Amino acid sequence: MSAALPPGAALPPGAALPPGAALPPGAALPPGAALPRGAGSLAGKVLFISGASRGIGLAIALRAARDGAAIAVLGKTDAPHPRLEGTVHSACAAIEAAGGQALPCITDIRDEAAVEQAVQATVQRFGGIDILVNNASAISLTPTASTPLERFDLMHSVNTRGTFACSQACLPHLARAQNPHILTLSPPLDLRPEWFAPHLAYSLAKFGMSLCTLGLARELSPQGIAANSLWPQTAIATAAISNLLGGAEALRRCRKPEIVADAAHWILTQPSRTVSGQFFIDEEVLRAAGVSDFDGYAVEPGVELMKDFFVS
């Protein structure tokens, strides 16, 4: 018989739900606690994560590291940056402190040869690749007349082309993995004009990532390789918010990256042959997994949260 926590009980941060236990309605599962109801482990898995030196990418890496996963950390920040927290090397140190293994890969995913080099280094170090997380992204929320073509090209090169390039380079190794997954941080394919009119170039680049999910899920289905997208319900406290989208005041209305990481963990531990071609929203994933209290994910609990782009 499964054990159960008392109604309204809360697990402390970082705790795991006891084996066989169920999380009752109203129980709180804070960031870092293990997901309930059969969520598996990423122990022994190899993750290849773009944009993993900070923010959502790092949070996903740390969640996997607590299971004992190995992570290839792709990023461009080799040395401390005045406006960006963390480097590839500090991310690797945090992953190892959390219980995982880490490989620093100073990589610009716009460079095909650099991506291939990172893939080969990962396979040489860890023996393969089980999971690709396409997280790296460039953003410029400018209308058409105010978007230089150089900025347009940057966003498409990083977002859409980078997602395609990393997926293509990892495919031979994913095909040999058990329960292989591609997870892309991109929005649901909702093609309403209001998602495009304010910042057409950025929206095209982000939805290009989602189109990769759509196509890859069908293309790779015979091989049992899952391709899914994940997007936050609310704004997430990242460098983009602090540097570009409102600063400290906007950060108060955000959730922490850990909510996306916990949702990603659930997706990546599902059977790849049955969970594919989906466009997940972080909060919906966690609610379906039994989470009902989200206050622990808020930067400042009680403050009204900002919705993210592309979410009604």
Q: Give me the sign of the Cα torsion angle 234, 237, 243, 246.
A: positive
H/E stretch holding 106: strand 101-106
The identity of residue 150, as a single letter, is E
- Give yes or no: 297 in active site: no
State the Cα–Cα distance between residues 31 and 93, nearest whole angstrom: 20
Identify the CA nearest to 252 among candidates 262, 241, 243, 244: 241
CA–CA distance, 229 with 123 (Å, rounded to integer): 24
Read off φ and ψ for residue 189, nearest 5 degrees: -80, 75
Other Cβ atoms less than 10 A from the Cβ of 38: the count is 9
Are residues 206 and 152 in contact, defined by beta-carbon separation less than 8 angstroms? no
The one-letter amino acid code at 219 reads E
Indicate the residue type of 268. L
Residues 6+ apart with CB under 8 A from 136: 50, 51, 57, 74, 75, 109, 158, 159, 162
Catalytic residue (choose from 126, 152, 195, 202): 202
Amino acid type, 181: H
Active site members: 202
